[in-house]
Structure 1
Amino acid sequence: MRTLPPLAAVRVFEAAARHENFTAAAAELGMTQAAVSYQVKLLEERLGVPLFHREKRRVTLTEAGRRAAAPVSRAFDAIDGAFAGLRAEDEGLLTISTSNTFANTWLAWRLGSFQVAHPEMAVRLQTTDILTDFAIDDVDVAIRAGRGGWPDLVQEKLIAIDFTPMCSPNFLARHTIATPADLLDVPQISPHDPWWAHWLREAGVDVPPGPPRAGVRLDSQAHEGHAAMAGQGAAMLTPFFWRNDLAERRLVRPFEQLSTRGYAYWLVYPEHRRNVPKIKRFRAWLTAELARDLPSPV
């Protein structure tokens, strides 16, 4: 069994011995000079020998302090080396978790540019609609939909989630959709989605009570948008994700009205990992990419 002095005090001693200056050691360790002096004194009392001569405005190592300083410094170098491999391994892989919709309609199309910008780093994308538990999941960052308010996580709002009906031009040509109420009489994709009733009521439509009507039910907006492009019905979609398809007339919006239920997409990661370099690099890339695609404020 090892009989070790307090490691916090040993760490302070190593820095103070290397600089032979309590003020410089305090600056390196992010402590006050008084705290450094206290930790050194605590170690001296534990060992029963003085480690520094205190002279006016300066300190110098005693013979005992000088004998201890070199092996202690080598020991800290060895500890640093033991963890360096783990740090390098962690920095070499970025794992991102996000929803199927965000991955398939936006992120997967652009993630290659992050890889090109950081060729030293492997990137793994996990697509799931289950919220990441950072305590047990091997995930660095997540992009999740919601209203925020997740404890112990940094939460940065990326885009608001709004929605409006969309369909293919061919579908629109085959069906009469002159007013919002006409949407009740055409095939709807995922009619069980509460976005339908919310949008229709905001448009002034009296939505019939009862269970949702029958129709194709899909598990993500990514699938719903492609089904709409295939002419299978009208889908309730977020324009941001489908702006290229709207611009190229694969999809059309019968009405200008946009609705929202207060949800957004957020970049989230544990508070204690805020300054991890690979997370900072991904955050910077993500915000720059989104800024290029989001409409400029008027």
Structure 2
Amino acid sequence: MRRLPPLSAVRVFEAAARHENFTAAASELGMTQAAVSYQVRLLEERLSIALFRREKGRVLLTEAGRRAMAPVSQAFDAIDGAFAQLRSEDEASLSLSTSLTFANTWLAWRLGGFQMAHPEMAVRLMVNDALIDFARDDVDVAIRTGLGSWPGLDADLLLKIDYTPMCSPDFLARQGGRIEVRDLLHLPLISPHDPWWSWWLREAGVDADDEKVRPGIRMDSQANEGTAAVAGQGVAMLTPFFWRNDLAAGRLVRLSDQVSTRGYAYWFVAPEHRRNVPKIKRFREWLIAEVRRDLDG
């Protein structure tokens, strides 16, 4: 016979330990902070062990609390995974979060192919540059940029991020048909505040302090920067993979053969305990195959 403490209190402890913040746990669970504090105190009294230290308006895990957090969190992950595979309605839809750039420049153009291959499953695309919290948000999978290491998430490499300056043929013609690397310091740049500019320029042999770079329009994503470049608004630092169709069609031209990178990449991520949920496995395999086909092409 199992000797389990009240599961409602354990659930509250897991959220509070993960955030190490009672207010954040209360927001996630739809409770008041006082209710979270009460449930934690109830669990501590049941165990006769302090799980948190209260210090100057904040809470910190004790050593005992820290030891309990990982297996308890893994247990809830396992429970979630078990029930997720039993929900038939869950298998009928997949919610995907990704950035504006990845969605607009590549994924949205191909997502219909997956839908046609799997007409029984609806895909809901959520475009947001903010980092999704799988424990709180109603999302199955995500495409993230970074170095590929996120605790509790399984990550598959999709695409390494590199970049080089591009502009429209019309903009190039207005500069006399040729732009040297050093000329970029004096031309309208799109999002010149982006650190990719100074990084690329230094690798091209140009000392590019922020003071030397001419101010330009600021965009919030590469998707918008590339669109502005196509419209002849200036020179943008872009990832060739995303803009190869515009390059092939002559809407954009590259100004250099040099391509730089800072080690970042796009990754397909899902909670570790849900990696082999059938719908996630199907989408992951399709997505990786599509990216590789375009990379090879």
- Common fold: TM-score over 0.5: yes
1:270 maps to 2:266: no
Contact 1:146 1:265 in 2 (8 A): yes
CA offset digits 1:22-74 (Å, max 9, x no partner):
xxxxxxxxxxxxxxxxxxxxxxxxxxxxxxxxxxxxxxxxxxxxxxxxxxxxx
Kept after mapping to 2: 8 A contact 1:141/1:268? yes
| Residue 207 of structure 1: aligned partner | 208
Contact 2:191–2:225 at 8 Å: present in 1 too? yes
Distance in 1, Cα, partners of 2:160 & 2:199: 16
| Cα deviation code 1:242-273 (max 9, x no counterpart) | 00110111000011000001100000000000
**Structure 1: which amino acid aligns with 2:101?**
T
Q: Which amino acid aligns with 1:90?
A: D
- Structure 1's consecutive aligned runs of 4 or more residues displaced over 4 angstroms after TM superposition are 83-86
Contact 1:175 1:186 in 2 (8 A): no
Q: Distance in 1 between matches of 2:256 and 2:211?
A: 25
Alignment of 1:183 onto 2:184: yes
The equivalent residue for 1:128 is 128
What's 2:101 paired with? 101
Alignment length, in residue pairs? 217
2:269 counterpart SS class:
strand
Judge conservation of contact 2:188–2:214 (CA < 8 Å) in 1.
no
Partner secondary structure for residue 87 of structure 2: helix
Identity among equivalent positions (%) equals 69
User: Which residue does the alignment assign to 2:225?
Assistant: 224
- Report the counterpart of residue 167 of structure 1 in structure 2: 167
- Output the amino acid matched with 1:93: S
1:214 positional shift: 2.1
The CA RMSD over aligned residues, in Å, is 1.9
Cα pair distance change 1:175/1:269, threshold 3 Å = same
Q: Is the 8 A contact 1:189 1:218 kept in 2?
A: yes
Structure 2 equivalent of residue 245 of structure 1: 246
Larger Rg: 1
Decide whether aligned partners of structure 1 residues 287 and 84 sit closer, same or farther in structure 2, where only a CA change above 3 A counts. Answer: closer
Q: CA deviation at 1:84?
A: 9.5
- In the alignment, structure 1 segments of 5+ residues that lack a partner are 7-82
| Residue 281 (structure 1) aligns with | 282
Q: State the Cα distance separating 1:231 from its structure 2 match.
A: 0.4
Residue 192 (1) aligns with residue 193 (2):
yes
Check whether the contact 1:96–1:142 (CA below 8 A) recurs between aligned residues.
Answer: yes
Deviation of 1:143 after TM superposition, in Å, equals: 0.3
